[in-house]
A = this chain, B = another copy of it.
Amino acid sequence: MRLKLTDVAEKAGCSPTTVSRVINNYGYISQKTRDRVYAAMRELNYQPNTLARSLQGKRTKMIGVIMPSITNPFFAELVAAIEDKLEADGYKMLLCDAGQDSNKERRYLRMLEANQVDGIIAGSHNLGIEEYQLYGLPIVSFDRDLSDQVPIVTSDNYQGGCLATQALVDAGCGHVYFVGNPVKTGNPTSRRFDGYADTVAAAGLTVHTARSAFYESPAAKARELRELLTSGRKIDGVFCSDDLTAILLLKEARKLGIRVPEDLKIVGFDGTQLVQNYVPELATVVQPVPDLAGTLVKLLYERIADPEKKLAQNSYLLPVKLLRNQTV
């Protein structure tokens, strides 16, 4: 049988109430008793049943994190950073990999509610805004407008688009393409395109795009990129809306004997540690993963502490950084 409060009380030679008081730091307790109780707890390796505590009204200290697949290195690093912060503060993370499955996301949402999580960090884009309204839980969102009651944290995608494109223009590119996800309204990622478009226009150049679905297979994407490069169109610079696409492009270019950066310059987006480590030549726009995680978590704590409090800010736009490298 699992140990309970009364076992500790017996061991420490005091009443269960006293043990509870020690644990909850409630009422008058002498240092001597306190020590005796802690000693007993240690000796028995006792852990209070969090279920019972939470049922009684205490926080569960459990946070639901809903994200697209962590097989994408960017989300893996973001989730890892979030997890690390949560753990440091005694929170537990229920990781909900929603993928592209809106039913799964919906199931997860209900599940999190049923499990009385203290709050939710939502980074998936499968469900409509309405579905998130139903739940009276503290929510913070990553990269997604949910409602004006839900703070949104995101990288400055527009600035990133500008920085990347400007770098290409500065490097002398006259035919700069945008390669990436199709524009989806409400998805802040599309701001990367806006930054690109504005910068290209300001430089007196034309907007050229080649979009492909985010979740399309890499092989299919590679084929598309190959076609783009062999289409005969004049291209000397490409801003890819994510690093993985940039890597594919880089590979295809090399296979075709196109020299990077001499003939073609490439800038990616995301700047994960993984890509920085294993494709160090790639120029990219680095999202501030630790800051994103820190902000998300901090805001969530505030919401948990006082769910009614009006938000100082609804939207948090964190600055990105251009990493110049060999591909530009």
By a beta-carbon cutoff of 8 Å, the part of chain A in contact with chain B is 45, 47-52, 54-55, 60, 62, 69-71, 73, 76-77, 79-80, 83-84, 87, 92-97, 104, 107-108, 110-111, 113-116, 134, 218-219, 244, 247-248, 251, 273-274, 277-278
Contact = CB atoms under 8 A, between A and B. Distances in A.
Copies of the protein in its oligomer: 2
A54 B115 CA distance: 10
A96 to B, nearest CB: 8
Contact of A92 (B73, B104, B115): B115
Nearest to A221: B277
A71 B134 CA distance: 33
Given A49-B114, A94-B95, A248-B278, 9 more contacts: A48-B114, A50-B116, A70-B80, A71-B274, A79-B95, A83-B95, A84-B97, A92-B94, A247-B278
B51 A274 contact: no
Nearest to A84: B97
Nearest to A244: B278
A47 B110 contact: yes
Nearest to A87: B104
Nearest to A136: B2
Contacts of A251: 278
8 contacts: A51-B55, A55-B55, A62-B115, A87-B104, A92-B94, A92-B111, A92-B115, A94-B95
Nearest to A94: B92
A34 B232 CA distance: 67
B55 A52 contact: yes
Given A69-B80, A71-B80, A111-B92, A116 B49 contact: yes
A114 B4 CA distance: 11
A208 to B, nearest CB: 24
A111 B90 CA distance: 9
